[in-house]
Structure 1
Amino acid sequence: MNCYKILGVVLLTSVTISCGTYFNQPVDVAEARIGETSKVTARLKTLPLPEEPVVVGVYNFRDLTGQYKTSEVGSTFSTAVTQGATSILIKALEDSRWFTPIERENIGNLLNERNIIRSTRQEYQGSNTDQPQVPPLLYAGILLEGGIVSYDTNIITGGMGARYFGVGGSTQYRQDRITIYLRAISTSSGKILKNIYISKTILSQALDVSLYKYVNFQRLLEVETGFTRNEPVQLAVKEAIEKAVEGLIIEGLQDDLWNTKEEEEASAQLISDYEAEKNDADLTGLYNRKFIQRNYNNSFGVALGTALMRGDYSGEEAGAHVRIDYTTGISKSLFLNIGASGFQLKNENAFSRRLLGLDLNGGYLLLPNDNLSPYIFGGPGFIMGLEEIPEDQENIHLKFQYGIGAEYLLNSKLGLKLFAQHNLSFDDEVDYIINGKRNDQFFNFGVGINFYLGKSSQPKNN
């Protein structure tokens, strides 16, 4: 019976991790359907209308990577990315309603067909001058050039798994990255009006769960389930191109290359949102790491937590802990901290003492340019009791402390922190008893807030 319970857990785990993928397994031939859209497609279709659509020509939006698909069984001549990026770009231009794309990719075919029309009319209509001529071709005011400039595979790979008594599972993932450039060129002057740079990651995932169990003598139960999900490269290219078209429209609005038919507030809101996105992108590195500039060197912090004694008595109990501190930065990673704390150390039915402490610590931020940064610290300090003590005991105890913590910046002037601190006393009298060779020690744990003070230490950009 336990085996069937385990099997149920295994199956439930595999299903709930990715319900959409698991419940949509292909079991029959699927009919043709209209192509998928993305969030960027929806945004393109809801952009405010232009004063007048811009006639643009796209000769070729090429795959410039020169890469072929990797294969485990031998060489392959299939390319890593689509060769139809020009068609994707033209569709994105059409969806935006800001541009009138004209045929330039296969203009030779178009010109040849127009010559056939002229020849046919001339042959069957003779010299009749009243017949209409072939209308002139539209010419483009702007040419769009660029291409897919890189396709980087396996920029992140990893996974995890576990197995216990024949029951286990594992997951693996891989992330690739595609990069495109799109530039707009004036046909009258040859000037490059805009150059847009877009990147998009491509995710592949695999999950498997298995059960290998003897349910009875000479009766073995084996169950396996799982799935692999790969984000289509073509859809990633499509989304990146659509994002580039959206950026081209908004940056053109920003530089007065074109205007909207609607009120100025609509374009102002678009530009504001796009600038916020660009600022966020400037602070985001590879692997979606958020980089920040810590502009304030000084902070005041408060924290609440608990204190736990490790002395000569057993049965330790957690006591309350309150701390205030001041921190000043020495460099981007190094800092000095001075803190005062009040806390209670106690053991069940044996010892209880309220103390004040003062610490001086040097510290090091491990990730100074990230919103979330772990840190380490250490330094000297002392504690002092707040209650009457036995005549033969000391009320002030020197100590050394060290610890680890982490701070998450909510904004430029407010940070959330948590920490764990180990305090090593230089004597064995904190709990009023001397026993053994080891001096008394205790732990402080807390969570708090840092308030950053003063003016920005970084120059403002004009």
Structure 2
Amino acid sequence: MRSFNYSVVFLAFLLSSCGAYYNQPTGIEKAIIGEGTPATSLLRNLPKPKDQVVVGIYKFRDQTGQYKASEVGSTFSTAVTQGATSILIKALEDSKWFVPIERENIGNLLQERNLIRSTRQEYTKNSNPNEPQLTPLLYAGVLLEGGIVSYDSNIITGGFGARYFGAGGSVKYRQDRVTIYLRMISTSTGKILKSVYVSKTILSQGIDQSFFRYVKFKRLLEIETGYTTNEPVHLAVTEAIEKAVESLIIEGIKDKVWIPDAPKEEVDALIANYDSEKEEAASSGVYGRTLTNKRTNFAMEISGGAALIDGDYANPLARPMGRGAIKYFFTPAFNLSASTNVINLANKNQLDVGYFTFDLNAEFTFLPKDKLSPFIFAGGGFGANRLFENEHVKVQYGLGLEYLITDKLGLKIYGEHNLNFSDKIDYIESGIRNDYYYRLGLGLTYYFPKKKEKVYEKYIIEENMLNQSLPTQK
């Protein structure tokens, strides 16, 4: 039976890591055409231009000066590729908007043309004097400058692991970030026509599992497996450059720097999608957080949970409670909440009573621009039994955590401590301390959507009629 259990454990380890085994290189692989990135297809599917632009690139290189990180000591390998100019030229060709010309090694080109001229002059003295000369070189209408300006290592690191009875595993991850700037310059005026900025994260992750156990006396079973994946830095840089070229083209279309050869509806849709992406990027933080206010001004809450008394009797019991509340947000982080609560309080074989409470709380949300946010609240209230015979005034405070399931619906969990100015909550007076009770709740909050501004068709019609009735200036 014991050997069967060990076989099951070994099989579970093997199956859980099957992805690593199936992707192991088992032989020498042949050369392949370079992989594309998600930005490659977007770049190739852009509308074609009416006229291509001749562009020159003298240098587009690594400006970070950063070397690759190493755990065993210093290294002289650079963190990013030194061939970014070649990547940029390939992206310009894929877009079909530009005609790249050789400028990075212009000295080699000019020297070769001089060799051609001198060779012709020396060995073709008796040939036709009207023989055509070398074709003149193209000159650039615009120049592209910039480079890889930043490579940030370990902007996020983390992991998780667990081990029990000799068996366990762990997951680790790390995220880096590469940033590029690209600007376009007019060769006739020297004016910088456009400048764009693009960043790309680079993910590395590792998974390992192990089993360590004595199966019998002096017999040790040890199993280890795992794998590590690193996103290629070259592909990350390529995707960032291609995205920068795409942004440069669309920015030029918006500012009428060049004209696309496509229907107006297609161009308008392309610009609208780009503007939406820019707005999303403007409201996002470094770690992918969307920095926009998630909650509207008015909300309604329904929750339920348990209440526990801390009074003069021993052996308190948890009893159900319900809550309904309305909230108004004066700022994205601060709101006032008015609620009605129904609670039951009980002690084993001693007490089982019910109360209504009416509470007013001031609540502060720590991260109003995040879906998941902690919050704290405090306020005062009034409570009474069902017949309003046993009344008490109280203050309460608590904290909780809320997660927005959708833009309108939030799920929250909270705990609350009620300090009552009465020792009769449990219907007896004993000692010098008043009776307290606690509440733990789970609820839903509905955020009412904001009213959208309406544009009245009648007003538009009247404005058009007024414009048509105005005399035209000759």
* Shared fold per TM-score greater than 0.5: yes
Tell me, in whole angstroms, the C-alpha distance in 2 between the residues paired with 1:442 and 1:433: 19
Residue deviations 1:112-135 (CA, integer Å, cap 9, x gap): 222222233333333523322211
Show the counterpart of 2:174.
174
- Percent same amino acid among aligned pairs? 51
Show the counterpart of 1:131.
131
Say if 1:400 and 1:424, in contact at 8 Å, map to a contact too. yes
**How many matched pairs?**
444
Say if 2:378 and 2:397, in contact at 8 Å, map to a contact too. yes
Say if 2:316 and 2:348, in contact at 8 Å, map to a contact too. yes
1:280 is aligned to 2:275 = no
Show the counterpart of 2:469.
none
Say if 1:403 and 1:419, in contact at 8 Å, map to a contact too. no
Show the counterpart of 1:404.
399
Say if 1:206 and 1:229, in contact at 8 Å, map to a contact too. yes
Give the SS at the match of 1:287. coil
Say if 2:309 and 2:345, in contact at 8 Å, map to a contact too. no
Show the counterpart of 2:415.
421
Q: CA deviation at 1:451?
A: 3.0
Deviates more, 1:148-157 or 1:67-76: 67-76
Letter in 1 for 2:442: G
Show the counterpart of 2:40.
41
Give the SS at the match of 1:445. strand
Deviates more, 1:245-254 or 1:48-57: 48-57
Say if 1:424 and 1:439, in contact at 8 Å, map to a contact too. no
Q: CA deviation at 1:66?
A: 1.2
Spell out the pairing of 1:17-416 with structure 2 (5 A cutoff).
Answer: 19=19, 21-126=20-125, 128-293=128-293, 298-310=297-309, 316=317, 319=320, 321-329=322-330, 333-343=333-343, 354-386=354-386, 388=387, 394-408=389-403, 414=408, 416=410
Alignment partner of 2:13 out of 10, 14, 18? 10
TM-score, length basis structure 2? 0.84
Letter in 2 for 1:321: G
Q: CA deviation at 1:40?
A: 0.6
Tell me, in whole angstroms, the C-alpha distance in 2 between the residues paired with 1:4 and 1:396: 66
Give the SS at the match of 1:8. helix
Give the SS at the match of 2:287. helix
Q: CA deviation at 1:29?
A: 1.5
Q: Which runs of 5+ in 1 are unaligned?
A: 457-462
Say if 2:356 and 2:383, in contact at 8 Å, map to a contact too. yes
Deviates more, 1:370-379 or 1:53-62: 370-379
Give the SS at the match of 1:370. coil
Give the SS at the match of 2:275. helix
Say if 1:397 and 1:425, in contact at 8 Å, map to a contact too. no
Give the SS at the match of 1:357. strand
Say if 2:394 and 2:419, in contact at 8 Å, map to a contact too. yes
TM-score, length basis structure 1? 0.86
Letter in 1 for 2:13: V
Change (3 A) 1:43 1:356: same
Q: CA deviation at 1:157?
A: 1.8
Tell me, in whole angstroms, the C-alpha distance in 2 between the residues paired with 1:68 and 1:188: 38
Q: CA deviation at 1:419?
A: 3.1
Tell me, in whole angstroms, the C-alpha distance in 2 between the residues paired with 1:13 and 1:204: 20
Show the counterpart of 1:459.
none
Tell me, in whole angstroms, the C-alpha distance in 1 between the residues paired with 2:83 and 2:364: 51
Letter in 2 for 1:301: M
Residue deviations 1:382-413 (CA, integer Å, cap 9, x gap): 22233x58xxxx4323333322233456788x
Give the SS at the match of 1:123. helix
Give the SS at the match of 1:188. coil
| CA RMSD, 1 decimal | 3.0
Say if 1:321 and 1:344, in contact at 8 Å, map to a contact too. no
Deviates more, 1:370-379 or 1:431-440: 431-440
Q: Which runs of 5+ in 2 are unaligned?
A: 453-474
Give the SS at the match of 1:288. coil
Q: CA deviation at 1:448?
A: 2.1
Q: CA deviation at 1:348?
A: 9.4
